[in-house]
Structure 1
Amino acid sequence: MRPAPLTLTTLLCAMLALPGCAVFSDAPHYRGIAVSQHDLNELTPGISSQTDAQALLGPPTFVEQFDNNNWDYVSQVTKIRIGQTEGVKQQHVVVLSFDNNGILQGVSQKDLKDGVRVAMDGAQTPVPGGKPGFLRQLIGGVGSYNPLGSASDTSSARSSASGLGGAGAGAPGSSSGF
């Protein structure tokens, strides 16, 4: 006995449900420079230099802005969450501190639990002219389209057009290049 064929509606519903499964089965993404404990054991504070660290670990993820002697190596494991937003599942940060001569002074490691949550400020930057009303929002941009850019860019656009035989050719102050 032969089973009944699938109806078109059942097949269509199955096809629509399959893309949603990808949200729950997405593979994790590995980002950054993962530094192993074995690699860190190769570096000796007081002896190893910045050159040794870079030869062993590669260039740092970033050098701290206010202290150039601190090199940070950041690695993360992220995964797509519901709504296609990326969530950090694991994070490992290794900070190498050097003295002014480039000699390693210390190594510190931080994890995701060591992170500091920073709340976004809900205040808005004031805009000149106050808060636009409905009518101003509706027709406020009419006539402000300029395909050549801002007013300061018009002279450079005109001179570049003159080299192509455009309307600015032969204008005072323009060079045609021929």
Structure 2
Amino acid sequence: MRINGQKAWAAGLALGLAVLAGGCTSIRDHRGYIVDSMLIDAVQPGIDNRTSVERTLGRPTFVSQFGQQDWYYVSQNVRTPPFSRPRTASQMVMRVRFDPAGNVTGVDKRGVEQVARIGPEGDKTPTLGRHRSFLEDLFGNVGSVGAGGMGQTPTGPGPNGS
């Protein structure tokens, strides 16, 4: 009877460790366009136009708003480690450029190496004006609110004529 209890305890411990270890894996997520390299390589400058690109690759992720009407296809693989923020594992941005007639003039591909990493400086935003301490903010208005006419002796008849 004692051997069965030890086996059950060991099996429960192993199951608990497996559940805990399973929670420490990263979550993988795909965002955006699903890349098919054969289809991407099929788009050729001078041969394709907007209609053929749309039939081959589908609608773009977004279209440029200014200048020429370039089409952008964005694909991103993201990993989220436990208790952490999501991080980009890989990224591909493909730009299809068109001439005014709608024919493809070029196809550019960029990866995650073109992403700019921005590191903000400090945790405060500099502003113009006075630098006041907490106590100055707390007690700064004491005596200034309602101070007009306070503490002065009246110089004429009051409101009831006295």
TM-score normalized by structure 2? 0.62
Pairwise CA distance, 1:58:
2.2
The answer to whether residue 117 in structure 2 is matched with residue 115 in structure 1 is no
The 1-side partners of 2:68 and 2:130 are apart by 43
Residue 2 of structure 1 corresponds to which residue in structure 2? 4
Segments of 5+ residues of structure 2 without an aligned counterpart are 141-162
Q: CA RMSD in A?
A: 3.4
Q: Secondary structure at 2:116's aligned position in 1?
A: coil
| Structure possessing the higher relative contact order (Cα contacts under 8 Å, 6 or more residues apart) | 2
Q: Could you tell me which residue of structure 1 aligns to residue 97 of structure 2?
A: 97
Q: How does 1:10-159 map to 2 (within 5 A)?
A: 14=16, 18=19, 21-24=22-25, 26-112=26-112, 114-122=113-121, 125-127=125-127, 129-135=129-135
Give the letter for the 2:117 counterpart. V
- Partners of 1:56 and 1:84 in 2: CA distance: 38
- Give the TM-score of the pair, scaled to structure 1: 0.57
For 2:42 and 2:114, the matched residues in 1 are separated by 27
- 1:22 deviates by 2.0
Cα distance in 2 between the residues matched to 1:50 and 1:122: 44
Aligned-partner SS, 2:51: helix
Task: Please report how far the alpha carbon of residue 74 of structure 1 lies from its aligned counterpart in structure 2 after TM superposition.
Answer: 1.0
The structure with the larger Rg is 2
- Measure, in 1, the Cα distance between the counterparts of 2:135 and 2:75: 50
Write the distance in 2 (CA, Å) between the matches of 1:59 and 1:31: 15
The change in CA–CA distance for 1:22 and 1:2 in structure 2 (over 3 A counts) is closer
